[in-house]
Amino acid sequence: MKFLVPYKNHIKVLLFLVIAFGFLYISGVHIIHDSTQNILDWRIQIGETITFPVFLILKSILIILIGFWLATKTITFCEKSIKHFKQINPTSQSILINIIQIFIYFIFFVSILDLLHFQHSSITVISGAAAFGLSLGLRQIASNLVSGFILLLEHSINVGDFVEMKDQSAGFVRRIGTLYTHIEITDGREIFIPNGEIFNYLAANWTLNHKYARITFEIIIDYTTDINLVKEICLKAINAHPAKSKNRPAEFLVDRFGEFGLIIKLRLWLDDILIGRFQVQSDILSSICEEFKKAKIAIPTIATANKKQAKLQKQFKQTIKPTNLIDEPVE
């Protein structure tokens, strides 16, 4: 009941007034007693035949608020207690918490109906109306509920997994609830995805069965550069990084001929993707750049490519000799 937190002081004052009023009523103060009795005898009439006692309405509201508060507190207590058991993995904890939530809210619903003296026939009618509502307006909620249990039982996504979204952002699965999955993105955002649509958003699960991963990035070198020297520098920078896997060798691949130079593709494996692939890539590229400067290896750019093209065009023009385009008369 977090929505009541801003009104905490107002609720305290209201409770104090209710308790004081109730004490005076029980004590038999005539003015309070008579006024209260008159208020409780009021009835709200709808149409010509339907009437609702004010006392029943106030009683219903009070019972629902207290019952909802008790149910929320009970669920919070059970959730904290389950999380203390380290022998239970986070996914199993989520399954237990979801089952407890559904059970407690069911007990809460039945208890409210019983306290308000609903007959069994009325409960049957309400249950039928609820089922009809689920089949129409609440279809998406039912889908999310079922999908949440399927996710937890199949273990396709577990609490704590590092997942990548289709928009290239990545984050950790913090909680798989009955309706929504809570994912904390690495940039600080926290998103809640309906369980029925979770696979429309996720692109990959990096830590489902293991934590190792391969990362690939490219560099470009001039066509006149010594490829063997570039290979030596690149592999040395990759192998020197502490995050690089010791059991899997790095790869240096000449990928294709680019417009401005030769495209080189570098591949390496990480034993733990949670270290951060982008940071590893940044460290390696920075090291390669420093070594290129020492070896005086230039990285081609559009400006340098334009200069070379202009130079080649100039040399080409100088090699072509002008010819006489006027035909000589034939004798």
Give the domain range for residue 220: 213-308
Mean pLDDT of 128-149: 66
- Give me the CATH number covering residue 225: 3.30.70.100
Element (DSSP H or E) covering residue 265: strand 262-270
* 235 within domain boundaries: yes
pLDDT in tens, 57-115: 676 777 777 777 777 888 788 777 877 776 666 767 777 777 777 788 777 777 776 66
Give the pLDDT of residue 127.
62
Please indicate, yes or no, if residue 151 is contained in any of the structural domains. yes
139 or 193, which is more confident? 193
* Number of domains within the chain: 2
If asked whether residues 195 and 225 sit together in one domain, one would say no
What is the reported pLDDT for 42?
60
Report residue 256: phi and psi, to 5°. -165, 170
Buried b (16+ CB within 10 A) or exposed e, 113-151: beeeeeeeeeeeeeeeeeeeeeeeeeeeeeebbebbbeb
Report in angstroms the alpha-carbon separations of 50 from 62, 121, 282: 22, 19, 74
Residue 205 in 3-state DSSP?
Answer: strand
CA distances from 20 to 16, 55, 116, 170, 217 (A): 6, 18, 25, 55, 73
Greater pLDDT, 326 or 256: 256
Higher pLDDT, 40 or 153: 153
pLDDT of residue 29: 47
**Residue found under tokens 């079922």:** 146
Smallest CA-to-CA distance from 149 within 192, 197, 98 is with: 98
**For residues 305-318, average pLDDT:** 57
Q: Going by C-beta distance under 8 Å and a sequence separation of 6 or more, which residues neighbour residue 99?
A: none
Q: Which of 39-53, 78-92, 106-120, 191-205 has the lowest mean pLDDT?
A: 39-53
Within 10 angstroms of residue 238's Cβ, the number of other Cβ atoms is: 21
State the pTM of this model: 0.55
pLDDT interval class at 31 (50, 70, 90): very low
Last residue of a domain, one of 165, 191, 209: 209
Residues 251 and 289 in one domain: yes
CATH number, domain with residue 127? 2.30.30.60
Same domain? For 269 and 205 the reply is no
End position of a domain, from candidates 150, 175, 209: 209
